[in-house]
Amino acid sequence: MHGKRSQFLIAAGLLVVLASQPIGCSRNAGTMDQWEERDPMVRRAIARKNMNDIDGAIALYNKALERKPTMALAHLELGLLYDANKQDYIRAIYHYERYLELRPQAEKRKLIEDLIRTARLSFAASLPETPSGAVEQIAVLKREIEVLKRELDVQHPGSAQPAATASAAPAAPSEKGPQPPKPEPAQPAVQTYVVQPGDTLLLVAKKVYKDPSKWKAIFDANRSTLASPQSVRVGQTLIIPR
């Protein structure tokens, strides 16, 4: 409890510091943020936030991004709202990082990076049972997700399996009819995989299925030995369902 309270106080302090400063960063970035602040949808979102209508503000910022995905100011404001008001740390981290991608020279970059680190710790602390080393493993998973993000964007969730080709109907045997072909041995329903150093369920799914989005199938098949998706350990034998 003391650790969670400390993380909350750190996050609250960082958010207060960020909120107390102008949204603009470097002179150029500040000018761009001020320009984006004039957008009608953003102005409506700011008004909603000032009225403490957090859900309304979030909806309007998201609409602004639907029209213009590169609007950095909307990403920063959404990060702050998801972090401070919704405790939705995953979405907050995404919007913080998107802001830094669009404003790489931001004067407040260090402060926003601290918010990202604190949000990751807060997310780890919010898990029902946090296994030893979960914070570090979550950070590793986050980096892997970023690496795989572009690949996943161009793939359909759960790649379609190749359609089974219809087998031709067996020809009627002639008087000297040929012997029917021997049935092929049935493929095993499952296989196994031994966890290697640096492996996570995402990487294992990418190795065995060529599709990292299927990590949950591996986790579901190994719930008797895995306390959480982050609890894989080197040398452990995992069941890999087909």
CATH number at residue 54: 1.25.40.10
Can you tell me the distance from the alpha carbon of 153 to that of 149, in angstroms, rounded to the nearest whole number?
6
Residues 201, 89, single domain; the answer is: no
Cβ atoms 83, 119 nearer than 8 A? yes
Whether the pLDDT of residue 122 is over 50: the answer is yes
Residues 11, 123, single domain; the answer is: yes
Range of the domain at 221: 190-241
**What pLDDT sits at residue 154?**
59
Nearest CA to 203 out of 240, 178, 159, 172 is that of 240
Whether the pLDDT of residue 240 is over 80: the answer is yes
Whether 115 is covered by a domain: the verdict is yes
Query: How many domains, in total, are found in the chain?
Result: 2
Residues 17, 91, single domain; the answer is: yes
Residues 6, 121, single domain; the answer is: yes
Digit-coded pLDDT (tens) for 35-80: 888 999 999 999 999 999 999 999 999 999 999 999 999 999 999 9
**What pLDDT sits at residue 22?**
46
Can you tell me the distance from the alpha carbon of 92 to that of 55, in angstroms, rounded to the nearest whole number?
14
Residues 20, 92, single domain; the answer is: yes
Can you tell me the distance from the alpha carbon of 171 to that of 242, in angstroms, rounded to the nearest whole number?
32
Whether the pLDDT of residue 24 is over 50: the answer is no
CATH number at residue 227: 3.10.350.10
Cβ atoms 10, 82 nearer than 8 A? no
